[in-house]
A and B are shown apart, each in its own frame.
Chain A
Amino acid sequence: MTTDSQFQSGRRRFIGGAAAGAFLLAMPWPRQAFAAEAGREAEFTTAWLRIGADNKVTVITPTAEIGQGTSTGHCQIVADELGANWNDIGFELAPVADAYKNPLFGMQVTGASVGLWSFMSILRNAAAAARTNLVATAARQWGVEPGSCVARNGEVVHPASGRSVTFGAAAADAARLPLPQAPILKDPKDFTLMGRPVPRLDIPAKTRGEAIYAIDFKMPGMLYAAVMKCPVFGGKVVRIDDKAARAMPGVRAVLPIPAGVAVVAEHFWQAQTALQKLDVTWDFGPNATLDGSELRKTFRSALERRGAELAPKGDVDAAFKGAYKVLTATYEWPFLAHATMEPMTANASYRDGKCDAWVGTQRPDLFRDELAKVLGLAPQDVTVHNLYAGGGFGRRQHTDSVIQAALLSKALQTPVKVIWTRAEDMQHGHYRPAGAAYVRGALDKKGKLIAFENRIATGSPQKVQYAATMTDGIDVASTASAVPPYEIPNRRIVYNLTEVAVPVGMWRSVGASHNAFVVETFVDELAAAAGTDPLEFRRAMLPAQSRERKILDLVAAKAGWGRPLPKGHFHGIALDHKPRASIVGMVAEISLSAKDALIVHRLVCVADPGQVVNPNACMAQFQGAIIWGLAAALYGEISVKGGRVAQSNFHDYRMVTMADVPSIEVEIHLSGADHEGTGESTAGAVAPSLANAIFAAAGKRLRALPLSLSRRGGV
């Protein structure tokens, strides 16, 4: 049995070797480094792994490394199934190729919290096939039955005779055998890496400032571009007076980009300084007067449309007619920016009818195809190199910055790096859609919820980004968590796809970030109307053996629900199950200051992802998504005025910082059900648990995000 401390010390040895000039496996672009070193060619190569003569195993991870840690998880899967020595494992981010399409979506996309488990079967089979051939090679050399040999710790061993051969020594011959199509997989009870808190492979470099992100990438002759798009959505450039900018030191060019202008200089600071010297005349277009109140009206009036219905059940109208008590409410939420810590950044080099791009991307295939289109090249003439990304959260599924870099590189025939300023990043996002919901609940005489209706009006990232995958006019991301996780005999969930001029996109947890707020705050309203304890009201709607009820009971016990709290402290509870993400129960403990300011003391959470590959990495995701949800609940708001985003940086698009962070207590409950995602799941329950605690404290229902006792929220 390998211990955690062995993992750590072993890993340190390996990184030590890399630093000493072997090769940089843990870096995301070692393909070049690998090939560049003579004699370092891999002996055994498939789409998913390479084995070198030196025993090093490189795993090709098909998802982006945006901080979620799937690269290490994929390595655990491959190493375990292969029987590799963990000290020999490194990874590379996949290039663009059909093999790396996510099997759920048929495209190369990192999103929806599925990156780890959706490749489980593919990676296990790939590793098992390699193991089969390594074993067959060794068995043939020894003249023994393959079944009498085992692969473990980076070697094939024949226990009966005590003979062994390293993977590296067997790799070249193993590569000459045809790959078995249906290799025999290991019994999960023999796994020594999966399910264990293996330290992440990317973390040591990230503590030393050595990890290379797109913003850090360099190549000879590279120029730097600062860009400015029309501040109003849908506007364009009429005229640019660039005389003053061109006279600035280091400036090489002032060039148009789609809906904007770029200054290209020898250094980024020169480019950014010169950009401010431009005198641009804009045509603000049709959205020049668009503002928040108009947008709010648009969403509110869309609630009255017929819409598309999802997951209908029972006879809702009859149930409402026969109800003892009916409750209605309207909820609202604003646009939100991703605000990745690394602002949008891209590098491109266009030369001789070919283009290379170095980016951190959640859609390498789309990046390649869109670059080919805009450059007039064949897709095979575009190569996308994926690097570590300084946060993704859905934002790096969009091609805007890489297209700018490629157009500039083509115009100047030299490599160009585009870096967006924070203001550019915040004002030209693809925002979590704003929207509104009208909810209605029917209680019978005993206070039981007999009918529930949820009418949502909001934007559709799926239509914008993945139109071909939409059916029946329903955006599965925008409607995530819109169906309550309870057994309610009659329900109607209606989606009114509402398009406005503000660009929208996928945003960590997407629809759960507002739907869980609406559903779980309104369920709390119904509990109050029924005169029932919020926990008991929910429990009564969940089957005794259900995973959801288990999670509710566990989180209630962990938080001490119903037990006395310190004076002035109050609890609020929420349950959420975003499809394909974990089941999450959350209890918030809050108090209110004398001036009605919200003080969050504890967020207690129990999450059931079914199973995990790396419990510590999953824990980090649960903790992180709580912070994500907390920032949105407390402060998150992108507002629109004059057709443009009013916020420009972190001083007015406020983030949670250390001083805001309550005690976050997460427990992972492994029910053994199929794997579910962890990256987004805990985000949705934060706002409703807080809103419900605020109601307990102040008797006031907050139905708009961000939560504020002192003002009205909304778009």
Chain B
Amino acid sequence: MPILNINGRNMSVDAPGDTPLLWALRDHLGLTGTKFGCGIAFCGACTVHVDGKPVRSCSFALSGAVGHAITTIEGIGATPIGAKLQAAWVSGQVPQCGYCQSGMIMAAAGLLQASPSPSDADISQGITNICRCGTYTRVRAAIHQAAKA
């Protein structure tokens, strides 16, 4: 049975190795903060971190995650960047329906790790997640705010 290290804890997953990490997290481990949006790694709703790097978990096999540190929206608040982003998300009143926002925050955390003071162009290039409610302007502002915090 594959063992995954998720948010600092080892968890065994009773699923075949070719199961997408997304469904292992959601259906097998009950970590439903990571969302299903498109299934083709296009929209980013399923973004998690593998060894600190953003990965679209709908198209990432469970077997590839074994032996690596996985961070999900449930755990990102324990990191300094994650905590700053979540605070900026609340003070900037970013989410609307909220469904894409776990992925947005995970993508933003990946961006800030790689680029601690991103420019507008960095954000445009680095955040390719889809939001249907139209929160982009506030996402951008919240990333800047978190970078300054």
Q: In the complex the two chains form, is A68's CB within 8 Å of B35's CB?
A: no
CB of A265 to closest CB in B, whole Å: 10
| Tally of contacts, chain A with chain B, CB under 8 A | 175
Taken residue by residue from 337 to 359, chain A's Cβ proximity to chain B (1 for < 8 Å, 0 otherwise) reads as 00111110000000000000000
Per the bound structure, the CA–CA distance linking A215 and B96 in Å amounts to: 17
Taken residue by residue from 26 to 55, chain B's Cβ proximity to chain A (1 for < 8 Å, 0 otherwise) reads as 111011111111111011010000000000
Q: In the complex the two chains form, is A391's CB within 8 Å of B133's CB?
A: yes
Name 15 A/B residue pairs within 8 A (Cβ), A-sorted.
Answer: A67-B96, A203-B95, A207-B95, A208-B77, A215-B36, A341-B45, A343-B36, A390-B98, A391-B97, A391-B99, A623-B134, A655-B43, A658-B124, A658-B127, A659-B125
Q: For residue B77, which residues in chain A have a CB less than 8 angstroms away from its CB?
A: 208
Q: In the complex the two chains form, is A268's CB within 8 Å of B134's CB?
A: no
Q: In the complex the two chains form, is B130's CB within 8 Å of A624's CB?
A: no
A267 with B38, Cβ < 8 A, contacts A208-B74, A208-B77 known: no
Q: Nearest B residue to A665 by beta-carbon distance? A: B137
A617 with B93, Cβ < 8 A, contacts A267-B23, A268-B23 known: yes
CB of A623 to closest CB in B, whole Å: 5
Give how many A residues have a beta carbon under 8 Å from the other chain's beta carbons: 61
- Looking at A102-110, A293-301, A625-633, the stretch in contact with chain B turns out to be A625-633
Q: In the complex the two chains form, is A659's CB within 8 Å of B90's CB?
A: no
Which chain A residues (380-434) contact chain B, with CB distance < 8 Å?
388-393, 419, 421-422
Within 8 Å by CB of B134, from A69, A206, A628, A651, lies A628
Q: For residue B131, which residues in chain A have a CB less than 8 angstroms away from its CB?
A: 341, 627
Q: In the complex the two chains form, is B96's CB within 8 Å of A68's CB?
A: yes
Q: For residue B110, which residues in chain A have a CB less than 8 angstroms away from its CB?
A: none
User: Any chain A CB within 8 A of the CB of B15?
Assistant: yes
CB of A50 to closest CB in B, whole Å: 25
Q: In the complex the two chains form, is A215's CB within 8 Å of B35's CB?
A: yes
User: Any chain B CB within 8 A of the CB of A210?
Assistant: yes
Taken residue by residue from 118 to 131, chain B's Cβ proximity to chain A (1 for < 8 Å, 0 otherwise) reads as 00000111011111
Per the bound structure, the CA–CA distance linking A227 and B23 in Å amounts to: 17
Q: In the complex the two chains form, is A208's CB within 8 Å of B33's CB?
A: yes
Per the bound structure, the CA–CA distance linking A625 and B135 in Å amounts to: 10
Per the bound structure, the CA–CA distance linking A204 and B87 in Å amounts to: 9
Which chain A residues (359-380) contact chain B, with CB distance < 8 Å?
none
Within 8 Å by CB of A623, from B19, B40, B125, B137, lies B137
Q: In the complex the two chains form, is A206's CB within 8 Å of B95's CB?
A: yes
Q: In the complex the two chains form, is A269's CB within 8 Å of B23's CB?
A: yes
Which chain B residues (61-88) contact chain A, with CB distance < 8 Å?
72-74, 77, 86
Chain B binding site: helix, strand, loop or mixed by DSSP? loop
Q: For residue B38, which residues in chain A have a CB less than 8 angstroms away from its CB?
A: 422, 649-650
Q: In the complex the two chains form, is B93's CB within 8 Å of A207's CB?
A: no
Which of B124, B130, B134, B136: most chain A Cβ within 10 A? B134
A658 with B123, Cβ < 8 A, contacts A341-B37, A341-B130, A341-B132 known: yes
Q: Nearest B residue to A648 by beta-carbon distance? A: B40
Q: For residue A209, which residues in chain B have a CB less than 8 angstroms away from its CB?
A: 31-34, 72-74, 102
Q: For residue B125, which residues in chain A have a CB less than 8 angstroms away from its CB?
A: 659
CB of B32 to closest CB in A, whole Å: 4
Chain A binding site: helix, strand, loop or mixed by DSSP? loop
Q: In the complex the two chains form, is A391's CB within 8 Å of B132's CB?
A: yes
Q: Nearest B residue to A340 by beta-carbon distance? A: B132
Q: Nearest A residue to B131 by beta-carbon distance? A: A341
Q: For residue A202, which residues in chain B have a CB less than 8 angstroms away from its CB?
A: 95, 98
Which chain A residues (309-351) contact chain B, with CB distance < 8 Å?
339-343
Which of B26, B30, B72: most chain A Cβ within 10 A? B26
Per the bound structure, the CA–CA distance linking A392 and B97 in Å amounts to: 8
User: Any chain B CB within 8 A of the CB of A174?
Assistant: no
Q: Nearest B residue to A629 by beta-carbon distance? A: B134
Q: In the complex the two chains form, is B133's CB within 8 Å of A207's CB?
A: no
Q: For residue B89, which residues in chain A have a CB less than 8 angstroms away from its CB?
A: 203, 207
Q: In the complex the two chains form, is A211's CB within 8 Å of B98's CB?
A: yes
Per the bound structure, the CA–CA distance linking A342 and B100 in Å amounts to: 8
User: Any chain A CB within 8 A of the CB of B112?
Assistant: no
Per the bound structure, the CA–CA distance linking A649 and B41 in Å amounts to: 11
Given contacts A207-B86, A624-B134, 4 further A-B pairs with CB under 8 A are: A391-B132, A422-B37, A650-B43, A661-B124
Q: In the complex the two chains form, is A650's CB within 8 Å of B42's CB?
A: yes
User: Any chain B CB within 8 A of the CB of A66?
Assistant: yes
Q: In the complex the two chains form, is B132's CB within 8 Å of A206's CB?
A: no
Q: In the complex the two chains form, is A268's CB within 8 Å of B27's CB?
A: yes
Q: For residue B96, which residues in chain A have a CB less than 8 angstroms away from its CB?
A: 67-69, 620, 624
Per the bound structure, the CA–CA distance linking A340 and B38 in Å amounts to: 11
Q: In the complex the two chains form, is B27's CB within 8 Å of A624's CB?
A: no
Per the bound structure, the CA–CA distance linking A664 and B141 in Å amounts to: 12
User: Any chain A CB within 8 A of the CB of B94?
Assistant: yes
Taken residue by residue from 191 to 223, chain A's Cβ proximity to chain B (1 for < 8 Å, 0 otherwise) reads as 000000101101111111111110110100000
CB of B60 to closest CB in A, whole Å: 13
Q: In the complex the two chains form, is B36's CB within 8 Å of A624's CB?
A: no
User: Any chain A CB within 8 A of the CB of B105?
Assistant: yes
Per the bound structure, the CA–CA distance linking A617 and B16 in Å amounts to: 44
User: Any chain B CB within 8 A of the CB of A657?
Assistant: yes
User: Any chain B CB within 8 A of the CB of A249?
Assistant: yes
Which of B23, B37, B94, B102: most chain A Cβ within 10 A? B37
Q: Nearest B residue to A417 by beta-carbon distance? A: B27
Q: In the complex the two chains form, is B124's CB within 8 Å of A616's CB?
A: no
Q: For residue A623, which residues in chain B have a CB less than 8 angstroms away from its CB?
A: 134-135, 137-138
Per the bound structure, the CA–CA distance linking A421 and B15 in Å amounts to: 20
Q: For residue B36, which residues in chain A have a CB less than 8 angstroms away from its CB?
A: 215, 343, 419
CB of B52 to closest CB in A, whole Å: 18
Per the bound structure, the CA–CA distance linking A391 and B101 in Å amounts to: 12
Q: In the complex the two chains form, is A249's CB within 8 Å of B98's CB?
A: no
Which of A66, A626, A655: most chain B Cβ within 10 A? A655
Per the bound structure, the CA–CA distance linking A267 and B45 in Å amounts to: 20
CB of B133 to closest CB in A, whole Å: 5
Per the bound structure, the CA–CA distance linking A235 and B93 in Å amounts to: 45
CB of B11 to closest CB in A, whole Å: 16
Per the bound structure, the CA–CA distance linking A224 and B23 in Å amounts to: 12
Within 8 Å by CB of A656, from B33, B95, B136, lies B136
Q: Nearest B residue to A218 by beta-carbon distance? A: B30
Per the bound structure, the CA–CA distance linking A659 and B139 in Å amounts to: 12
User: Any chain B CB within 8 A of the CB of A148?
Assistant: no
Which of A209, A212, A389: most chain B Cβ within 10 A? A209
Q: In the complex the two chains form, is B86's CB within 8 Å of A393's CB?
A: no
Within 8 Å by CB of A661, from B43, B95, B101, B137, lies B137
Within 8 Å by CB of A626, from B31, B74, B128, B134, lies B134
A620 with B42, Cβ < 8 A, contacts A208-B74, A658-B139 known: no
CB of B63 to closest CB in A, whole Å: 14
Would you list the 6 A-B pairs with minimal beta carbon distance, nearest first? Answer: A209-B33, A627-B134, A67-B97, A390-B99, A206-B98, A624-B134
